[in-house]
Structure 1
Amino acid sequence: MTAARGDTQHGIRRRNLSRVLRAVAAEGPVSRAGVAARIGLTRAGVAPLVDELLRAGLLVETGRAAPSGRGRPGSELAVSDRGPAGLGAEIGVDHLAVCAVDLRGRVRARVAADAANRRSEPGAVLAHLSELLAEVTAGIAVEGLWPAGLAVAVPGLVARGSATVVHAPNLGWREADLGPGLAAALAPAPAARGGSGSPGAAALPLMVENEANLGALAELRLGGAADGSPPQDFVHVSAEIGIGAAIVVDGQLLRGARGFAGELGHVPVYPGGRPCGCGGRGCLEQYAGEEAVLRAGGLTERAAAGSSGPGGRIALLAHRAADGDAGVIRALHEAGTALGIALAGTVNLLDPQAVVLGGALARLAPWVLPSLERELALRTAVAADAARPGRLSVVVSGPAADGPLLGAAHAALGAVLDDPVRSGATTLSPPVDIR
């Protein structure tokens, strides 16, 4: 009975530490009284939690807080700009990227590289990615930061609770387990193994997730609405070479039984239409994916060749459309129509607050939105009822094309925010050297 009570007390303490750290990260600098009011505890209850987070180096005192009317003013609290950081990585069809965010949510380092990943072996891609990871971890180390975890965004289906990419058609991958390769990329140098008990790199939490899901997470964490508060029920649509979607219900991702929810790109919009790499016909990706739009806009591979790399071909489409290229504008209009048809069923079924356009769609929104919204108005009850308060809105993502990468970094940081002082430790020191 005592052990059970102790486990419960430890769980409550851990959750309260998380609540305090999240409150300061969201609102800091903030007084202890402000933290107590935010999370619904007394000042006496908050005090030992704050002290523990100060000892751990996760919080710092920034100076005197304004008087609250009772007692002497205390010190304001903020999260430290040193300590653990979340590593995010993105594997795209034509690029790789890595970034690190600190506890304040600021990007402290970022690198990106062109990479022809289509039909490349996963091992070769991870070898290149490990070089970028090493560059970022070395860069943040000089600023007193170290990795707390790594999350990787991929354009494909990821088995729920695993690091296995079940199918990424635009990469040509099937049943690719990225876990061992990612763990090896973050392993400490041999001479540094067997350190003094600080959290080692080999034990870092690793996550592999669909890129649209992480884009939706970035929308939840970073917001994009005019008032700074993102919707809690929305469909996040992300498009590059392929098209994916993430469904958020009451602030939580709807993953599905196997983790495959959101495969919007393979929803048939024109049954019996163009053949798709998935084996079906008439899939959305064949009408609104990057290559489909380039083809429909009359841009040959040769014309687009000089615009490869992260967002390069999307930039070409946007530039041509802004210059009044009738063929490109027509192709983007047709892509918006196809998107509206594909999204209509989802909107009717789920009744979301918003449809959020991320990835390439964020940059191409001026030419895609009119036809997309028209189709939704024609095909959905909620969009057609324009007079009803709280009607469906179609908005451009705040993080836009950076969503999957930023979402990955913030997901990795969740390991610290969820369990700030692991296993009852009183301090968090950096791990041994990472190479």
Structure 2
Amino acid sequence: MTAALPDTQQGMRRRNLSRVMHTVAAHGPLSRAGVAARIGLTRAAVSTLVDELIRAGLLDELGPQRPGRVGRPGSALAVSPEGPAGLGAEIGVHHLAVCAIDLSGAVRVRELRPVDNRDRAPEPVLAELGALVEEVTRRARGLGLRPAGLALAVPGLVAREQPLVVRAPNLGWVDADLAPLLPRGLPVTVDNEANFGALAQLWTQEESAEDFIHVSAAVGIGAAVVLDGRLLRGTHGFAGELGHVPVRPEGPACPCGGRGCLEQYAGQEAVWRAAGLPPGTGGIGLLVDRAESGDKAVLKALRGAGSALGIALSGAVNLLDPHGVVLGGALSPLAPWLLPPLRRELTRRTATASRPVSVSALGREGPLLGAAHSVVRAVLDDPVAVSVAG
């Protein structure tokens, strides 16, 4: 979806440039005639727009399309593999990650650093992340890419349109103002990791519906709601805090201050604890191996986690009536054991027909990719602004 621009001749031109960029990025390589057919403009009008985008270094001509068509073959257009790029970054409880993607959405550079960020102050975490951003930027520039912005995913409540982490229980952060700590020289946005995970699902998965609840499950459990192709943010930007919905009000204490929250039954460490394993032992792969071998303690823990997810989700499904539910995040490899009890609870507790529950192909990569794609989509939404800035 393109950004709103003034209803003037210049605004119309910028909207049409955006439509061309989005069309080629999503469906290219395409000829000028192919673009014109998809967006409903004349070929002459599209050619003028395409020429401007080529001069700006945003589109490339690849040469004649494959033979066999009637008439003169058109020159195929594709988004440039060089030029503007989106930087995505993620602060996880147990890792830091940064990637750069080009305008086609291809990941060109990626860095992952395992590190325990629990109870670390924001300053050293952002300093370490900044070093990763510099490294990815350096490598991206070596590929001819020019970072157009940076988007950062964090596992906590982020104030709407502000780089303020109001609360991140699994990091131990409260009212952490990240503005003074973020890299300089680039437009920077900060958002909840579950929001970016849902946007990645919406933007990159062709089979994705326009209405769904996306669950991002790892140490913490977040969720994001997409309705009519738009992210539901809420008044303060805090919509989707599924992990702190109480599933058993008298249950164990949660770092958020509540009791019996979903994270205490379905979070990554809660599953290990219920299975009788030290937290983090062997990673998710160990749980998968033990579940496949029929380990009774692990299977019981996964059934409990799936049931807790279903209980929490049933309220959201009854309230919002989405098309379906998508499970993403680090726990997605455990879907074969989580989904049956989750689906049973949804069927028992929802007022209408049960919704499809699927697993995101993006897994734990969703938040990082969603962050990077948010920068690229800003370029596609207003390519004039980017070409002028460049």
Q: What is residue 255 of structure 1 aligned with on the other side?
A: 233
Indicate if the aligned counterparts of 1:376 and 1:383 stay in contact, CA closer than 8 A: no
1:299 aligns with 2:299: no
1:413 aligns with 2:383: no
Superposition pairs of residues 27-176 of structure 1, within 5 angstroms: 27-65=27-65, 72-176=72-176
More off after superposition, 63-72 vs 398-407: 63-72
1:408 counterpart letter in structure 2: A
Q: What is residue 189 of structure 1 aligned with on the other side?
A: none
Candidates 209, 219, 238, aligned match of 2:201: 219
Indicate if the aligned counterparts of 1:89 and 1:408 stay in contact, CA closer than 8 A: yes
Query: What CA deviation, in whole Å up to 9, does each residue of 1:375-400 have, x standing for no partner?
Result: 0111113344xxxxxxx200000211
Q: Secondary structure at the match of 2:259?
A: coil
Candidates 393, 397, 413, aligned match of 2:360: 397
Candidates 187, 193, 199, aligned match of 1:205: 187
Indicate if the aligned counterparts of 1:205 and 1:412 stay in contact, CA closer than 8 A: no
Query: What CA deviation, in whole Å up to 9, does each residue of 1:65-84 have, x standing for no partner?
Result: 36897863321111111111
Indicate if the aligned counterparts of 1:98 and 1:405 stay in contact, CA closer than 8 A: yes
1:409 counterpart letter in structure 2: A
1:401 counterpart letter in structure 2: R
CA distance in 1, matches of 2:25, 2:190: 25
Q: Secondary structure at the match of 1:93?
A: coil
Query: What CA deviation, in whole Å up to 9, does each residue of 1:213-233 have, x standing for no partner?
Result: 00001101111xxxx321110
CA distance in 2, matches of 1:345, 1:6: 40
Indicate if the aligned counterparts of 1:149 and 1:415 stay in contact, CA closer than 8 A: no
2:292 counterpart letter in structure 1: A
1:328 counterpart letter in structure 2: V
Aligned length: 386
CA distance in 1, matches of 2:8, 2:70: 34
CA distance in 2, matches of 1:142, 1:424: 20
Superposition pairs of residues 274-423 of structure 1, within 5 angstroms: 274-301=252-279, 304-305=280-281, 307=282, 313-384=283-354, 392-422=355-385
Indicate if the aligned counterparts of 2:156 and 2:169 stay in contact, CA closer than 8 A: yes
Query: What CA deviation, in whole Å up to 9, does each residue of 1:44-69 have, x standing for no partner?
Result: 22121101000001101111136897
CA distance in 1, matches of 2:333, 2:198: 17
Indicate if the aligned counterparts of 1:214 and 1:405 stay in contact, CA closer than 8 A: yes
CA distance in 2, matches of 1:354, 1:22: 26
2:339 counterpart letter in structure 1: L
**Unaligned runs of at least 5 residues, structure 2:** none
CA drift of 1:279 comes to 1.6
CA distance in 2, matches of 1:103, 1:423: 12
Indicate if the aligned counterparts of 2:271 and 2:302 stay in contact, CA closer than 8 A: yes
Indicate if the aligned counterparts of 1:149 and 1:205 stay in contact, CA closer than 8 A: yes
CA distance in 1, matches of 2:38, 2:187: 29
Residues 276 and 63 (structure 1), Cα distance of their counterparts in 2 relative to 1, 3 Å cut: same
The share of aligned pairs that are identical, in percent, is: 63
Aligned residues: CA RMSD: 1.8
CA drift of 1:276 comes to 1.5
Indicate if the aligned counterparts of 1:222 and 1:399 stay in contact, CA closer than 8 A: no
Candidates 244, 252, 259, aligned match of 1:266: 244
Indicate if the aligned counterparts of 2:118 and 2:170 stay in contact, CA closer than 8 A: yes
Q: What is residue 13 of structure 1 aligned with on the other side?
A: 13
Q: Larger relative contact order (C-alpha < 8 A, sep ≥ 6)?
A: 1
1:258 counterpart letter in structure 2: H
Q: What is residue 236 of structure 1 aligned with on the other side?
A: 214
